[in-house]
Chain A
Amino acid sequence: MTDHRDLPMPPPVAGRVLDADLDLLDRQILDPDGVPVSTVDDLELTDPDDLEHLDPDTPPVVSALLTGPILATRIFGGRMPDSRFIRIPWKVVADPGIVVTVGVAADSLDASWAERWMSEHVIGRIPGGRHDPE
């Protein structure tokens, strides 16, 4: 088997290079104030026009980060229906680094609905749960 050290390096590119699994998947998503939003569970890519004859000049583009309840499919396999994923559009991503920072407030994203629901319906009903500790 050919060792990768024998293979040529790919043609250089002008933009930043990210390996999707290595640099994006499972990274935490934070909003500009450092509030956790969710984690990157998958990526949504634009659909090629024809999967039987892929166009070399129009590669798929990342359209959104996806997050959702994927624990079961990771353990047992299979694929979660697309409708169960929550989309975070790529256009709000500000910095895909050690954590993925988005440029909008966590409260404005659907991905943080569970946090908001818990805050409003559970934490908020606990005495003292609606203000900062004194």
Chain B
Amino acid sequence: MILSDLLGSPVLTADGERLGAVVDARLVLDGPPDGMLAAARVYGLVVSPHSHSSFAGYERTGVDAPALIARFLRWRARGSMLVLWADLASFTDDVVRLRPGATLYSPRLSGDSA
């Protein structure tokens, strides 16, 4: 599987409600050593309800300049969320389905102020 297979895929809840599209995959380097770094596992998917892509990650970081561009890109990515891998039920026919009771998290990267 390559990352592009996931990016842009629609994400549905267990009830079939559309949450949005996958715009990014969050990786965590906390696996066993794999060469020079730890193995990078998929921690979750960043889902955007209004766009099929994210530009420069303004909605995930504390960067707010240039102000006009930041406001526009944050508006475009409004309502974005992070779903953890453990809450994914299936990935078939280019559609990601969540488990019942899946928790939605803020996509904000910790360490960045709001």
Number of A-B contacts (CB under 8 A): 168
Cross-chain contact of B41 among A47, A51, A59, A103 (Cβ < 8 A): A59
Smallest beta-carbon distance B111→chain A, Å: 9
Q: In residues 41-81 of chain B, which contact A (Cβ within 8 Å)?
A: 41-44, 46, 49, 53-54, 56-57, 59-60, 78-81
Provide the residues of chain B in CB contact with A134, threshold 8 Å: none
| CA–CA, A103 and B37, complex, Å | 11
Within 8 A of B (CB), among A75-134: 79, 82, 85, 89-94, 96, 103
Whether A93 pairs with B36 at a CB distance below 8 angstroms is: yes
Which residues of chain B are within 8 angstroms of A9 by Cβ–Cβ distance?
Answer: 105-106, 108, 110
Taking A15-B29, A19-B60, A21-B24 as contacts, is the C-beta distance between A54 and B90 under 8 angstroms?
Answer: yes
Complex alpha-carbon distance, A56 and B79, angstroms: 25
**One of A13, A22, A45, A93 near B43 (C-beta < 8 A):** A13
A62: B residues at CB distance < 8 A: 27, 39-42
Size category, B interface? 35 or more
Nearest neighbor of A82 in chain B, beta-carbon distance: B2
Contact at A91–B36, with CB atoms within 8 Å? yes
Q: How far is the CA of A128 from the CA of B112 in the complex (A)?
A: 52
Report A121 CB to chain B, min CB distance, Å.
Answer: 31
Among A20, A47, A52, A96, the one with the most B-chain Cβ atoms within 10 Å of its Cβ is: A20
Residue of A nearest to B44 (CB): A10
Q: A3-B79, A9-B106 are in contact. Are A90 and B40 (CB under 8 A)?
A: yes
A42-74 residues with Cβ-Cβ distance < 8 A to B are 42-48, 51-54, 56-57, 59-62, 66
- A-B contacts, 19 of them at CB < 8 A, read A4-B79, A10-B105, A15-B29, A19-B46, A19-B57, A19-B60, A21-B54, A45-B1, A45-B2, A45-B42, A48-B1, A48-B91, A54-B88, A59-B43, A60-B41, A61-B31, A61-B40, A79-B4, A91-B36
